[in-house]
Structure 1
Amino acid sequence: MEIHYENADTALGLVKSGDRVFVHGSAATPRFLLNKLLAKAGIIKNIELTCISTYGEIEWNRPKVINNGFFINSLFVSSNVREWVNGRNGNYVPVFLSEIPALFEEGLLRLDVAMVQVSPPDRHGYCTLGTSVDAALCATRMAPVVIAQVNPQMPRVMGDGIIHYSEFTAMVWEDSPLPEIDYSLEVDETAIKIGKNVASLIEDEATLQMGIGTIPDAVLQQLSGHKDLGVHTEMFSDGLVPLVEKGVITNEYKKVQPGRIVTSFILGTRKVYDFVNDNPFVNCMNVAFVNDSDVIRRNPKVVAINSAIEIDLTGQICADSIGTFQYSGIGGQMDFMRGASLSEGGKPIIAMPSITRTGISRIVPFLKPGAGVVTTRGHVHYIATEFGIVNLYGRNMEQRARLLISIAHPDHRAVLEQAYYERFRKLYAEVK
């Protein structure tokens, strides 16, 4: 079996002006190819980059890139392109993570090129999409041109993302480390308190979903005394590995792929990348399957742990924007909030610090003007901060406000009490 590798310039010659180019995301972001493509600004024009969440250094903030026809259309906004997405040459598509493959399949986002990063071919010629199958699998099937960055440092991950090298239009060899992020370094006293509060809701034999960030990692640190937990999640990081090693995570009681961790992408440090490499205990799957609420609900006791930017006193969750500034995306929060609520014994949880790093309350009378509602007040259940846990489900608006004030930061409760009075008590007094 003889495999031919192109140099980057030759491979990227397949990208023509006016193309829509899918860019593989998370730890699998093909930074080498992407930066080489951006360097062609002015030579090729009117290129739309469609991506979910990219990581690592991306050389976009240059006049030739933003003034010569490179436009980013992001389906989930990450920090390295946040300013670009919020500028005049970028935008954001609000969409559930589970439905992104359908955008490609149905032609609403017709792809011309897909750029992916893969593990090297095995002796049979099969590569894998490595740490990120999510919507990349569908992108490789729908794009007529697929350019693969083949990286020997990309783990070989079992599941849906197994692709024969003959399906790639061009392959470029690039030996470079994957981007790493260690959420455990950001776990502070507040996160530990939240982690303990959330862990108190998790029963033995539950099936876990963790969102991105410090709080999910803090929760995992509190689960070493649990038994027979399962994992069905859109993503996971290093925090799961010790629980597998201790026998806490067994996946025995799951209904969907029992005995296996089911995920859509992996993001963390080399520790977790080494853990998933050639590991049949982990299946990385198409996000249309992983995040399908009908699939999620089949598992028992699904505990979905996600976070928020702010929540108003009626339970509306903003998790993707700061006012009109697009900070992240809808992602899979609603997929799993709904799936968990439909699961037998399931618990959808929003866990967040009561205040921001600058001391601003995350529990607010009203969301900021322009803020997006990711989880509606009809879908919200448990809210956890460092000051406790409340369950808003089945509660009326006034009851919700009282409960949320009880877990707000003490420095902000007086303002929230006044807002409560203005909205409810003053109104009733006027009616009387």
Structure 2
Amino acid sequence: MMIRCENVHEAVALALERIGRRVFAMSHIGVGSGNRCLNVLAEHAKKGEIDLTVFAALTLDRPKPPEGNQVLASIYERMYGDYTPFHFLEECAGAAASGLPIPDYLTYHSYHYAPGLGRRIPGMQSDYLAVNFRDASECARSRGMNMVVMKASYRDGKFNCGTNVDIMLRAINDVKKQGGAVILLENENMPFSCGNADIPIGCVDYVVRDDEPLFIMPHQPLTVLEHAIGSHVAGIVPDGATLQLGIGQMADAISFWLVRRGRSGLNGYSELISPGFLYMI
């Protein structure tokens, strides 16, 4: 039976009563990560109350403005001040910067690092899991995953995976089959995705209303170099080609120049709909 909780601490406490000391928690990739739940779990682990493993990807951190730039500092505070990062990663970064080993009160496995994370925190690289995105849920299940924590949208009486519909439904079903716990952070800012993205009510154990702003990724203007590369690539792509485009400045540049060069009959293949694809539609 689903229980609506007053706060994250209550939801985590109820979940721990149910599953015990050993916790293997999987979280949503990117903006949907249940960081507030992960932080409470980490508090329990730091006190020695649980043995915690976290399995996540692209766990986003608040960017830091250039030192001494007050204008950017105020902009960053307005954009990211209410966003909750995973504090364990901040502790790891601080330890690495001081030449100390990273904290060992939990194990953090990731299959998709944020840019530069492995170089910034070398001690984390030994826990990196090199698995394909499609195999991430099976990788977690085989290691004893017994908890899912994530942000979710809620509309018309249905919870929805929002920004990560591909592997989280399978992870939720796997956790429920093993008697684990599913905690959702219901967030009105989370998009509602169509198709096979709804989370069955029977699979949800604990829900906390948490409408913190989602992480905002700044969209930088294209540089002259990126325009040059995009123009060159677009020149060798024929009409009717099938494109695999990801995210980022280079994909945007190529998309822009494909349109400028009047390419037609193009097909797209991607794990997500990026701004570049939207520009070409």
TM-score range, shorter chain: 0.7 to 0.9
**Letter paired with 1:126:** K
Deviation at 1:110?
2.3
Is the 2:255–2:279 contact (alpha carbons within 8 Å) kept by the matching residues of 1?
no
Is the 2:27–2:55 contact (alpha carbons within 8 Å) kept by the matching residues of 1?
yes
Is the 2:3–2:206 contact (alpha carbons within 8 Å) kept by the matching residues of 1?
no
Q: 1:217 aligns with which of 249, 252, 263?
A: 252
Is the 1:153–1:178 contact (alpha carbons within 8 Å) kept by the matching residues of 2?
yes
Deviation at 1:175?
0.5
Q: 2:270 aligns with which of 226, 233, 243?
A: 233
Residue aligning to 1:62: 91
After TM superposition, list the pairs within 5 Å mapping 1:69-218 onto structure 2: 69-79=105-115, 82=118, 86-87=122-123, 91-104=127-140, 107-120=141-154, 122-123=155-156, 125-143=157-175, 144-183=180-219, 185=220, 187-218=222-253
Residue aligning to 1:304: none
Residue aligning to 1:23: 27
TM-score by length of 2: 0.74
Is the 2:148–2:172 contact (alpha carbons within 8 Å) kept by the matching residues of 1?
yes
TM-score by length of 1: 0.50
Q: 1:53 aligns with which of 37, 53, 58?
A: 58
Deviation at 1:74?
1.0
Residue aligning to 1:38: 42
Distance 1:80 1:193 in 2: 25
Aligned-residue identity in percent: 23
**Letter paired with 2:236:** L
Residues 45 and 182 from structure 1, CA distance in 2 versus in 1: closer, same or farther, beyond 3 angstroms?
same
Is the 1:55–1:80 contact (alpha carbons within 8 Å) kept by the matching residues of 2?
no
After TM superposition, list the pairs within 5 Å mapping 1:228-307 onto structure 2: 228-243=265-280, 249=281
**Letter paired with 2:237:** I
For the aligned residue pairs, the C-alpha RMSD in angstroms reads: 2.8
The size of the alignment, in residue pairs, is 237
Residue aligning to 1:328: none
Residues 84 and 149 from structure 1, CA distance in 2 versus in 1: closer, same or farther, beyond 3 angstroms?
farther
Distance 1:81 1:111 in 2: 24
Is the 1:117–1:151 contact (alpha carbons within 8 Å) kept by the matching residues of 2?
yes
CA deviations 1:225-277 (Å, max 9, x no partner) are 3334333201343333333xxxxx2xxxxxxxxxxxxxxxxxxxxxxxxxxxx
Residue aligning to 2:7: 7
Deviation at 1:118?
0.7
* Higher RCO structure, 1 or 2 (CA under 8 Å, sep 6+): 2
Is the 2:158–2:199 contact (alpha carbons within 8 Å) kept by the matching residues of 1?
yes
Is the 1:127–1:165 contact (alpha carbons within 8 Å) kept by the matching residues of 2?
yes
After TM superposition, list the pairs within 5 Å mapping 1:380-395 onto structure 2: none
Residues 68 and 100 from structure 1, CA distance in 2 versus in 1: closer, same or farther, beyond 3 angstroms?
closer
Distance 1:43 1:158 in 2: 42
CA deviations 1:174-196 (Å, max 9, x no partner) are 1122112234x152111111111
Is the 1:58–1:80 contact (alpha carbons within 8 Å) kept by the matching residues of 2?
no
Residues 168 and 21 from structure 1, CA distance in 2 versus in 1: closer, same or farther, beyond 3 angstroms?
same
Is the 2:5–2:11 contact (alpha carbons within 8 Å) kept by the matching residues of 1?
no
Is the 1:73–1:90 contact (alpha carbons within 8 Å) kept by the matching residues of 2?
no
SS at 1:19 equivalent: strand
Kindly name which structure, 1 or 2, has the bigger radius of gyration based on alpha carbons. Answer: 1
SS at 2:151 equivalent: strand
Residues 101 and 33 from structure 1, CA distance in 2 versus in 1: closer, same or farther, beyond 3 angstroms?
closer
Residue aligning to 1:365: none
